[in-house]
């Protein structure tokens, strides 16, 4: 695979967003952590995380709680080494309560294309299971599945 590094173009920024979505939909914390610098700094809701080890721990806790997680990301804006995305994901808790979580992220990359800073704001909305929009088999979102704008999200 070709490395995607700054400065970003519209096409490379879109590719970076899809690669991030694919990684997170794998729900593999070790694999996902490799997209970040060893000292990457995160803010996720009210939690601050720094470094790959803590990122792996964070994602492991996240996906143990957020079951049947499916995510869609969409490019919002980009500059030379920064990308802004909006996203939504669906999941349920261990009691079967479904949620759609909406968020925005700001990403900053190093010269090698690894994310060095990630800031995420997220809101959770309870939904009924029959109101889910992300119903593909667990894993990568199929190429023909609608994105956020197509779904009116």
Looking at the whole model, is its pTM more than 0.75? Answer: yes
Q: How far apart are CA 104 and CA 88, in angstroms?
A: 9
Question: Does a structural domain hold residue 144?
Answer: no
Question: Does a structural domain hold residue 104?
Answer: yes
| pLDDT tens digits, one per residue of 91-127 | 999 999 999 999 999 999 999 999 999 999 999 999 9
CATH code of the domain covering residue 27: 3.10.450.50
Question: Does a structural domain hold residue 100?
Answer: yes
Rg of the chain's alpha carbons, rounded to an integer? 15
List the domain range (segments joined by +) for residue 90. 10-131
Query: Beta-strand (E) ranges in 96-148?
Result: 98-109, 115-127
| pLDDT tens digits, one per residue of 14-68 | 999 999 999 999 999 999 999 999 999 999 999 999 999 999 999 999 999 999 9
Domain count, the chain: 1
Concatenate the DSSP letters of all residues of 122-133 into one string: EEEEEE-GGG--
Looking at residue 113, the DSSP 8-state letter turns out to be S
């Amino acid at each position: 695979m070709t490395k995607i590094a700054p400065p970003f173009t519209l096409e490379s920024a879109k590719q970076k967003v899809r690669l991030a979505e694919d990684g997170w939909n794998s729900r593999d914390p070790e694999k996902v952590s490799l997209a970040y610098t060893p000292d990457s700094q995160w803010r996720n809701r009210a939690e601050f995380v720094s470094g790959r080890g803590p990122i792996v721990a964070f994602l492991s806790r996240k996906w143990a709680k957020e079951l049947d997680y499916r995510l869609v990301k969409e490019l919002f804006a980009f500059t030379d080494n920064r990308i802004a995305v909006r996203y939504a994901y669906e999941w349920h808790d261990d009691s079967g309560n479904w949620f759609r979580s909406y968020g925005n992220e700001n990403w900053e990359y190093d010269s090698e294309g690894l994310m060095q800073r990630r800031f995420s704001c997220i809101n959770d909305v309870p939904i009924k299971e029959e109101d889910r929009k992300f119903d593909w088999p667990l894993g990568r979102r199929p190429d023909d599945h609608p994105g956020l704008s197509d779904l009116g999200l």
